[in-house]
Amino acid sequence: MREGKQIIHMDQDAFFVSVELKKDSSLIGKPVIIGGMSDRGVVTSCSYEARKFGVHAAMPARMAKMLCPHGVFIKGSMDAYSKASHEITDIIRERVPLFEKASIDEHYIDMTGMDRFHGCMTYAHELRQTIMKESGLPISFGLSVNKTVSKMATNECKPRGEKNVEASGVQPFLNPLSIRKIPGLGEKTFVKLSDMGIKKIYTLAQIHPDQMNMLMGKNGLSLLQRAKGIDNSPVIPYAEQKSIGTQCTFKADTIDINMINNLLTSMVMDIAFQLREKKKLAACITVTIRYSNFEDVTKQASIPYTSLDGTLIQKARELFKQVYTKRMLLRLVGVRLSSLVNGFEQIDMYSESQEQYSLMQAMDRIRKRFGEKAVTRASVLNIEL
């Protein structure tokens, strides 16, 4: 274990709910539930008061209403959540040497070597106070020797908490915790290990690597490493230019607007699928066209974090309408998604009913098995380029 590492994990407390409480203070102390406005809806987030009744994210709205009949259900606003996320990222960007935006509401900060100038715990505390003062939103943090342990430290001190786990205290901190607390450990793995009598991290950490490899292969060895507090993954510098996109050059210059709109639909569906495959969201979309005289024109727009086909298709078509201003033949059209972060599950559930969300997942499974073109919209089937 590298004792010199100093990694901070900062995570907003019940982020969506906190944004709603900031807008309406009368909700403070109440069991607030975001999403699930209809019986077929899905809970996106909930307050700590609602969690006491057993409500949690991804739960069907019908069940949430049974568990918490007096809950305050709010549709929510992805525009507001995205805006708050960008504000917090900007605060962090101005004050730290290296950070990674891990999702819409969490950041990793690498302070390694900075303790020569600042005490890392003191600096993290001051940064947390600054974020809360400037954003008006609660946040917690964990400080430790790597990303895994710092994230687990944050989870153990939420809400409104701070926790420092030094190198010498990593294993004593981890040992009594449930294996469920290990980041990335899924429900099936939890059940499998529990059935074997492995419920605490201490027990898991004692398993021989060969046995773990036999049980679960490489994933098992990775899990064993995390149980021992070992994680060498770096803090990846956050960069707005991270993107995914595609473009198409026509065989013959065209002015067929209907065909181009259908093509944009197909292109967006392809890259949105790739986005979901990577479990990422986009906060910016760009459309580019090239006229027959080789003049390129580009238009981009900031959008609420999403990876949904419908939302992205609508915005791409709007941008194309804005960028195509000359009655001139086109040679090329392209679309790109950027400002990518992790976390598509939570956000997409916000925008979709349970039925629609299940349909999207089913379509993605078909694409994974039979190829990206195995299922698509009828309007894009007969595009001729």
- Positions marked active-site: 106
Lookup result for tokens 């026509």: 250
Burial class (CB in 10 A: 0-12, 13-18, 19+), 61: buried
Lookup result for tokens 């077929």: 40
Torsion sign (Cα): 223, 181, 234, 283: positive
| Ranges of H-type helices in the chain | 15-23, 48-51, 61-67, 78-93, 120-135, 147-157, 170-174, 187-195, 201-205, 209-227, 257-277, 309-323, 344-351, 354-370
C-alpha span between 94 and 232 (Å, rounded):
26
C-alpha span between 287 and 270 (Å, rounded):
15
Torsion sign (Cα): 185, 343, 59, 139: positive
SS3 227: helix
